[in-house]
Amino acid sequence: MMAKRKNEIGKPDKITSNSLLELLEAFKKEGCPICMLNYLNVDSYFSSILYESVNDPTVRRNLRDSLGYCKKHTVQFIQFVESSYNRFGATIMIEDVVRELIKKLEKLSNLSLKEINKISTANFNCPACIYQGKHEDIYYSEISNNINNEDFFNKFLESDGLCLTHLLGLLNIVKNDKFRKIIIENQELKLAKIIKDLDAFVKKHTCQGKGKISLDEANAFKKALRKIVGD
């Protein structure tokens, strides 16, 4: 259930929804909060799949049809399986995918070069991406719907900020011009801090600056990349 909104900023609402509570916790952590929640949600999805849905015909069919997960979620899936020691469930499901791939490869011999060139290996139907996208939409809506909640919005502004993809996703649904401007300016301030650390690292590394290189300065290049492509 969505938290109720107030019409005026300065009168915070009572935060009751799970997704809002998840966002508030994520705001306290390093990096893009939506990226972090995406990772946790996809791990939860993998857990549910491997422990509850290995024999679910619909789940198995969707994974076969998509030929598994996208590259990013395949890496996360392998990490989850290895950390949870559930190779049995993973093996059953991935065997399905391999058998489906063999069927598709058998049809390739009947295709012309022109037809083969049209085949895309990009996985646009990755089940984990679809699951993740539904949660992303919820987080965008929660932030947008609670912008008038001063306490919540301040915590959002005090967070590490969003990566470019999630920033654009949020701005796409924020109707209020004033708040869109505040969000963009806040992001610019965070990037300016990163630029300052990047510049300080270069100067100190080349003996043009004084003092020792700080941890923030040493890690600035990673923070910059995460701002652009996400975590």
Percent of the chain with pLDDT over 70: 91
Please provide the size of the chain in residues. 231
Identify the DSSP state of 219.
T
**CA 14 – CA 5 distance, rounded (Å):** 9
Continuous H helices in 57-176 = 57-65, 71-84, 87-108, 113-117, 127-145, 150-158, 164-171
Single-letter residue type at 76: Q
**Rg of the chain, C-alpha, whole Å:** 22
pLDDT for the residue 1:
33
State pTM to two decimals.
0.82
For the chain, give the mean pLDDT: 88
Q: In the prediction, which pLDDT does 213 show?
A: 87
pLDDT at 12: 39
Residues 175-186, mean pLDDT to the nearest whole number: 94
Instruction: Please give the pLDDT value at position 112.
Output: 80
- The tens digit of pLDDT for each residue in 35-63 reads 999 999 999 999 999 999 999 999 999 99
What does the pLDDT look like over 104-136, one tens digit per residue?
888 887 878 877 777 777 767 899 999 999 999
CA–CA separation, 175 and 180 (whole Å)? 8
Residue 211, pLDDT above cutoff 70: yes
